[in-house]
Amino acid sequence: MSSKKNTEEELEETKDVKEPTEKKKKTSKADKIKEELEETKLQLAEQKDKFLRLFAEFDNFKKRNVKERLDLMSTAARETMVALLPVLDDFDRAKNAAEDDETTEPFSEGVMLVYQKLHSTLKNKGLIEMVSTGEDFNPDLHQALTEIPAPSEEMKGKVIDTIEKGYLLKEKIIRHAKVVVGK
């Protein structure tokens, strides 16, 4: 019996030893699962942050792209307008010469209609003629070709004569006015 008793005691001791080891294993498995869960949560938070930043960046790109396209469309005809400006200048000179009392050369009604049609078509496409004569000289709008003595005190620093008109296309300067300034 004593050997049976010893064996039973040994079994109980081993059970006691096994139980904490099993608890440790269960605890360590639970800890590992918790650690993995925390790590997964951190990775998810990082990925979510990256996603949000990328989404915001893409949204900004789309907005910038739309704005650039609208700008491009609004000034797409710029080269054409710039190419037509010398023709418009020639029409202006011919019209002014024909309206001069000293000339005998008439400005025919047909040519006047063509001039008006060209002028109104370009205006409808966004071309705006700058009015310079009598205005204060502004280097952002005007290109001073020369300075002459002002005919009066109030004309000092103002545009006395416009040699070549300036034009805006949808509020952007496509050609500066070439002017004579009073000093």
What is the pLDDT, as a whole number, of residue 147? Answer: 92
- Phi (first) and psi of residue 108, to 5 degrees: -60, 155
Q: Where are the alpha helices (DSSP H) in the chain?
A: 2-74, 78-99, 109-124
What's the confidence (pLDDT) of residue 24? 55
Q: Give pLDDT tens digits for 45-80.
A: 999 999 999 999 999 999 999 999 888 877 777 778
CB 68 within 8 A of CB 160: no
Output the pLDDT for position 7: 57
Contact between residue 92 and residue 134 where contact means Cβ atoms under 8 Å apart: no
β-strands 177-182, 142-148 pairing: parallel
pTM for the whole thing? 0.54
Amino acid at 154: E
> What is the reported pLDDT for 83?
82
